[in-house]
Each structure stands twice: as C-alpha cells, then as structure tokens.
C-alpha cells in the first residue's frame, strides 16, 4: 500500500470516486475485480474465481462486503466456499444459482437491480447466452462495464458450454451492451479490456463466422 491506502500493485482504474483493482487467478487466468468506493471505503468483489487466500487478503484490505458472480461456470466460483466461510455474502442470478449448488450462495441478483456499494451504484444487466443467467454490471457515472464471459475483445463469449446459445448471446450483446457509448470500457472475465466502440462495428463479422 502507498501512503493514501491504495494497493498500487493491483490498481487497474480509478477516478475521484472509486478504484478498480484487478488480479488474475487460477489455471484459466480469470479476472477478479474489486470496486472500492473512495468516500466510504466499502468494496465489492466480482467473481470469486480461484486462489481464495489471495482474494481474502484483497477483500480485507479493500473493505469488501459482498461478492457478485457474473455467472456460475466452475472456473468463476472456486473461491466461493472460502469467501462464504469468511462471512462474505455471495450473490448470483436465479438462473445460474443451480451451478453454485456445491459451493453455495446467499442472495439473488435480478435484472436491472441497482446494487449499492458505498456511494457507488452498479446496474445489473441480464445477458443470457454464455449461460442462461449471465449478468453484466455497469457502474453509474463511470465508463465501466463488467461483462463476465459475455463480451471480450474480438467477440462474444463461448456458447459451446452448458447453458450457451449463440443467437441468444448475439442478441444480448447487441441489445443490452452495444447501446452504451463508444468510450465505455469493457472489463471481461478473462483477458484485456476493450471498448464498446472497438467491438460494435464487428458484430456482423461474429454472426457470419458463427462464434
């Protein structure tokens, strides 16, 4: 930590109101994000994927109160038992909750729900296609859009896994994500950031190639 309490080695994005911290964990190199409200010190973790000891340390340092799961595929949920044992509430959509049967969960996330984290507001966006209950989070008054495995640099997420459907994810991306401004920063569940403006022109290419 530096003198103002910021974890500089994990800091990924910030403005005057919030910080986004990022770590990459597990064999599938999952992105785990922590959003922290600067005014209150309260944080939320997106996708308790793996390496629970590392995540628990991050949560303690950044004031995390709860965990939000973008979807229920196993590579995104490995750290959940340890997180819940440590007292963190885990939220997932009702449609993907059955995938968490072995690791547990606490509450449901609904489409269009507004999740309060300190003074931050996260808008939940139901994005079926990668799984039936996949969800993205747009942070109010910022350009930030956390897309889980729904949208990546160069295309939509994999639809060959259980719960996936290509036509559904294309509709999901076009109607619910590509409505955001070009400068919206996409923070996916794996890999690098991109922007809506970078990806939107290629939608028809993705449709034509079929993945």
Per-residue pLDDT of the chain (211 residues; tens, 9 = 90+): 554 556 889 999 999 999 999 999 999 999 999 999 999 999 999 999 999 999 999 999 999 999 999 999 999 999 999 999 999 999 999 999 999 999 999 999 999 999 999 999 999 999 999 999 999 999 999 999 999 999 999 999 999 999 999 999 999 999 999 999 999 999 999 999 999 999 999 999 999 999 9
CA 126 to chain centre: 12
- Which residues have CB under 8 Å from 172's CB, separation 6+? 127, 128, 129, 134, 150, 156
DSSP calls for 18-68:
EEEEEEEETTTTEEEEEEEETTT--EEEE---S-HHHHHHHHHHHTEEEEE
Q: What is the pLDDT of residue 123?
A: 98
Q: What is the pLDDT of residue 78?
A: 98
Q: How far is it, in rounded angstroms, from Cα 100 to Cα 18?
A: 30
Q: What is the pLDDT of residue 7?
A: 82
Q: Where are the beta strands (DSSP E) in 38-143?
A: 43-46, 64-68, 89-93, 107-109, 114-117, 120-126, 135-139
Which CATH topology does 11-209 take?
Metallo-beta-lactamase; Chain A (3.60.15)
The residue ranges of every structural domain in the chain are 11-209
Cβ-count burial 145-170 (b if 16+ within 10 Å, e if not) = bbbbbbbbeebbbebeeebbebebbb
Q: What is the pLDDT of residue 5?
A: 52
- Which residues have CB under 8 Å from 196's CB, separation 6+? 145, 177, 178, 180, 181, 182, 183, 184, 186
177 contacts 196 by C-beta, under 8 angstroms: yes
- Which residues have CB under 8 Å from 85's CB, separation 6+? none
Phi/psi at 28 (nearest 5 deg)? -100, 10
Q: What is the pLDDT of residue 3?
A: 43
Q: What is the pLDDT of residue 1?
A: 54
């Amino acid at each position: 930590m530096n003198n103002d309490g910021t974890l500089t080695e994990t800091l990924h994005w910030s403005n005057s109101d919030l910080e986004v911290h990022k770590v990459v964990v597990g064999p599938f190199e999952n992105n785990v994000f922590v959003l922290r409200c600067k005014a209150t010190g309260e944080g939320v973790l997106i996708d308790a994927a793996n390496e629970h000891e590392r995540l628990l340390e991050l949560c303690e340092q950044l004031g995390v109160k709860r965990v939000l799961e973008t979807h229920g595929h196993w590579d995104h949920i490995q750290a959940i038992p340890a997180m819940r044992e440590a007292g963190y509430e885990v939220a997932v959509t009702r449609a993907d909750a059955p995938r968490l049967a072995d690791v547990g969960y606490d509450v449901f996330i609904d489409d269009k729900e507004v999740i309060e984290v300190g003074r931050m507001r996260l808008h939940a966006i139901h994005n079926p296609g990668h799984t039936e209950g996949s969800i993205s989070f747009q942070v109010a008054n910022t350009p930030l859009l956390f897309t889980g495995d729904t949208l990546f640099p160069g295309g939509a997420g994999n639809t060959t896994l259980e719960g996936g459907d290509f036509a559904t994810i294309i509709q999901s991306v076009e109607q619910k994500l590509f409505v955001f401004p070009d400068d919206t920063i996409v923070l996916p569940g794996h890999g690098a950031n991109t922007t809506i403006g970078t990806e939107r022109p290629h939608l028809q290419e993705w449709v034509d190639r079929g993945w």
